[in-house]
Amino acid sequence: MFGNFTSFAGIPAKSKVDPKDVPPPTPVTLPRFQPFAQDDDTIDESSALSTLLRNTGRSTAALGPSGFSAIGLNLNLDAKPTDLIPDPSFIPDFNSWDKLSSDEAQEKNQSTRHLLRNGNLSPGCHVYLERKKELSNVNEDAFRTVRRLPAPKGKTQARLGNAYEFFRCLEAFTSFWDDPTRPLPLPPSPEASPEVTSSGDAANSGDAKPASPKPDESANFFRTSAGSSMPLEYRNNLITSFIKLVAYDFGCNVSPSRTEPRLHFSSPQGSGSRKSFCPSGCLFIFQSPTTREAARAGAVHGPVAAVSARGTTDFTQPDPETAQSLDLAREIVAALITAQHRAREGKTEKRFGEGEWWTTKKRWGGGPGGPIGREVEKDLVQGDKDAKPSDENGLPMPRAKKPRKNMSIYDNYRMIRPPSSTWDKKAQYEAIGRRKGADYDDIFVVSSLFHHISVIRVRVPNRLLEALEGAREPDASGRSWGKVEAWRSPWYDLFDTIQRLAAMKLVWAMMAYQMRKDDVSDGDVAMTNA
């Protein structure tokens, strides 16, 4: 009766594939592209940002190393948490929390909580130890719970708690990726064959039948596809469920934007200025509303950070430098989009083409009938179109159609108006976590490739956002904003228990810093290691 219960639970069904037909595993090669830049670099006018913006929409050169040189990106790899978080004082003392027992954590929990910007208290050491215990479950034990298999003899069923959704998504990865923490199956021993063992047991026990060991049900689950064929939503679901384990307790949530995330840029203002955009498939971490009415209305605040999960698995085509630089460009685009959204605080949207002649005046210079020949002048129609049809043949008149509630596709097409809005009407754009009085904004991007996760901090100057909007540069041989400093944490494998706990601590520190309560004197405090 419950044979198809997994489909209702959202668990992907395992396909029956012969082990001989399983494709080879997809190699895991993480990108290591690292651009360098200095504040006083002298750049060629042909590779300046203003020159690249003039060619927007005509080439993809701006998405490669030349684009990083134009904005002055300086990336620091394998950054420590103290370097990644602008103010290390907001990083909890996880080492002391790890030494606490359950009773001690209950006593000290209130003293480890701090006031957040939404008026609530941050999670303390007690919640941290709960999340650590939930994520510390062995993969095989957690997968047994997800697959609804009984625990082996002598063991209890793994209690996943809030991490159930994370392990459910991680279990779906096992159809495409090999679990690196799972030991490889040992080949059968050639010393003792099954025939010899069975005959020896029969001689010792007489007519008694030998007890055959029950096969391990977990051995029936193995990878059936290549990692390169995994759908992108699998990775999005995994990263979202992992971040939610921490973000929920800070009053935040992960959700896609209601409008397509776009990086808007314009060539320098003047004659022949052009506007364009670069789309992105990134998600955002928003602050959830504190009232029930606002939550029902779908209101969100932020964004707090961005989430960029990409499905690229081959970083060798057309060459390693180009492939890895393009992947880094996707992360930087997500950071710049987040910076533009956060810079909308206190502003109103000016839609592209608003007030221009080509969005207000009709333009058709062809013959009669309009663009598609349907716009016939009313005077050319013979007779009274409003008169009722005659019933000379004695048949009843046709039933009148119901009035159309919405415009037809053709009428909607004929309307002259600006393009659709690119701002989310239900989002209250705020630069959450930004230091007051600073001429830059620290943007966090949670990046994901393969089954790994990394956190990036990009310091976006305000002047760079103005240059992207078309502001002229006073000196074409330099960058008025200096450089764009960025820090990347190491890549953490979510299959590995130790590494996913380290990633959880890093996300915790990021949320603690971004959701901090701003003090009145915050703008006068000198921040170290920023």
One-letter amino acid of 24: P
Contacts of residue 79, Cβ cutoff 8 Å, sequence gap at least 6: 457, 487, 488, 489
Q: Which residues pair with 278 in a beta bridge?
A: 263
Residue 17 has pLDDT above 80, yes or no: no
Segment among 121-125, 323-327, 468-472, 522-526 with least mean pLDDT: 522-526
**Phi, psi values for residue 354, rounded to 5°:** -65, 125
Cα gap 337→261, rounded to integer Å: 7
pLDDT bin (cut points 50, 70, 90) of residue 383 is low
Q: CB neighbours (10 Å) of residue 347?
A: 9
Tokens found for residue 403? 């009035």
Tokens found for residue 445? 């991007």
CA torsion angle for 410, 412, 417, 420 (degrees, to 10)? Answer: -120
Residue 529 has pLDDT above 50, yes or no: no
Average pLDDT over residues 245-261: 95
Position with higher pLDDT, 287 vs 151 = 287
Dump pLDDT digits (tens) for 204-221: 444 444 444 445 555 567
Taking the model in full, what pTM does it have? 0.84
Cα gap 447→262, rounded to integer Å: 18
CA angle 107, 112, 114 (to 5 degrees): 135
Dump pLDDT digits (tens) for 146-181: 999 998 888 899 999 999 999 999 999 999 999 998
Q: What is the pLDDT of residue 300?
A: 96
Instruction: Name the residue with tokens 């620091």.
Output: 76
Q: What is the pLDDT of residue 382?
A: 53
Average pLDDT over residues 270-281: 81
Cα gap 28→437, rounded to integer Å: 43
Residue 460 has pLDDT above 90, yes or no: yes
Share of the chain above pLDDT 70, in %: 78
Q: Which residues pair with 457 in a beta bridge?
A: 444, 487
What Å distances lie between residue 390 and 378, 387, 395, CA to CA? Answer: 21, 9, 10
Cα gap 245→409, rounded to integer Å: 44
One-letter amino acid of 444: F
Whether the Cβ atoms of residue 247 and residue 511 lie closer than 8 Å to each other: yes
Segment among 66-75, 384-393, 414-423 with least mean pLDDT: 384-393
One-letter amino acid of 142: A
Cα gap 109→126, rounded to integer Å: 6
Q: What is the pLDDT of residue 530?
A: 41
Share of the chain above pLDDT 90, in %: 58
Residue 196 has pLDDT above 70, yes or no: no
pLDDT bin (cut points 50, 70, 90) of residue 374 is low
Dump pLDDT digits (tens) for 315-357: 998 899 999 999 999 999 999 999 999 999 999 998 888 877 7
According to DSSP, the β-strands at 300-309 and 275-279 are: unpaired
Cα gap 231→425, rounded to integer Å: 30
